[in-house]
Amino acid sequence: MIRVLVVDDNPVVRDALRAHLDASGVARVVGEAGDGRTALAAARRLRPHVTLLDYRMPVADGLSIVAELARLTAVLALTSEDADAVVRDMLRGGARGYLVHGEFDPAELVRAVTVVASGRGWLSPAAATVAAESLRRAQEAAEAGARAAERHRETQRRYGLTPREREVLDLVAEGLANVVIAERLRLTEKTVKNHLHAVFTKLGARNRTEAVLRWTGR
């Protein structure tokens, strides 16, 4: 029997969830809470397998407790909120699943609880769309980063800067002044200027801006 904690500030919603789960034969509601603070205390005391967690609640909302709650129990977010940011933040916080009111029936609720209790994830259509989009954006960002890194490596090979010259130019790219670069690398300011002169010559740059642009491949 899957032990479930129901966390929602609406007692009518809690009663409905309890009725559906207790009638399922596979899950039993062992406790309820109407705010985040009470939910954490109940989770520590009752050790439920799954906690149904609302997003908007008084005292402490779902987002503020999801990470801590996820260390005690499998969290299935169950809320009317389907905003992209809310879905992403709850899943990043540790929720294994996300259900949106109006997008599931009692049978799907029981299936979601069962799946989440087994260690897998469950997403309603709206939440799945957000998760897929976040994954796509993360993949695109990773690919763009890899391409930029390869361009940078090719630039390094082309210009043949020494390790010290690369260090100096990387700090110039961060916007640091010569005196700060000298302190960072434990060099004299004159030595930094000498390295920069060599860098400008190798890159064919007239100034710091041109050198940084060519070095970063922009």
In the predicted structure, residue 166 carries a pLDDT above the cut 90: no
pLDDT band at 117 (very low <50, low <70, confident <90, very high): very high
pLDDT of 130: 73
Distance (Å, whole) CA 69 – CA 173: 43
What pLDDT, on the 0 to 100 scale, is given for residue 159? Answer: 79
Which helix (DSSP H) or strand (DSSP E) does residue 73 occupy?
A: none
- Cβ contact 113:21 at 8 Å: yes
Q: What is the pLDDT of residue 88?
A: 86
DSSP code string of 88-119 = HHHHHHT-SEEEETTS--HHHHHHHHHHHHTT
Which one has a higher pLDDT value, 158 or 177? Answer: 177
Which pTM value belongs to this model? 0.63
pLDDT > 70 in the chain, percent: 96
Structure-block tokens of residue 33: 């809470």
Mean pLDDT computed over 82-91: 86
Residue 24: pLDDT over 80: yes
Res 149: pLDDT: 75
pLDDT at 139: 77
> How confident is the model at residue 17, as a pLDDT?
95
Find, among 92, 88, 100, 85, the residue nearest to 52 by Cα. Answer: 100
Query: Does residue 10 register a pLDDT over 60?
Result: yes
Per-residue pLDDT at 217: 66
Identify the helix (H) or strand (E) that includes residue 32: strand 27-33
pLDDT digits (tens, 9 = 90+) for 33-77: 999 999 999 999 999 999 999 998 988 888 999 999 999 999 999
